[in-house]
Amino acid sequence: MMNMPMMNMPMMNMPMMIMNDEDLKSMYPKVYIRIYPIVKYHYDMIVAKHGRMYCPTVDEMDRMCKDICDKYKEHYKDEDYDDDCNEDGMRRFRGGGLGNLGRILLIGSLIGGRY
């Protein structure tokens, strides 16, 4: 312990440890705050129709991701995004895709909803 002086410091002296959930949530990027309700809607529809253990096909997932992208485009015009989605529902954004973000969040919800 003598070689690790930080181990003896009380937690109150570490300001990063004081952050609460709301502080952390405020750090989400704007795109997440906007797209998550759309993804949540699709997740809720899947669960209502098929149950929590359902695994969509690749085609179903592609259609949902395109729909998520289209709904985002319909509701939000953001200068950080290109103007339109391609046929796969993907939107270019700093090397990534809005459709990919929707896919990641939807898959995460499906996996998380099983536990």
Instruction: Tell me which residues of the chain have a pLDDT lower than 70.
Output: 1-19, 78-96
Domain ranges of the chain: 26-112
Q: What is the pLDDT of residues 86-102, one digit of tens each?
A: 555 544 444 348 889 99
What pTM was estimated for this model as a whole? Answer: 0.68
- Spatial neighbors of 14 by CB under 8 A, at least 6 apart, are none
SS3 96: strand
Which class for 74: exposed (0-12), middle (13-18), buried (19 or more C-beta within 10 A)? exposed
pLDDT at 106: 96
Please give the pLDDT value at position 73: 87
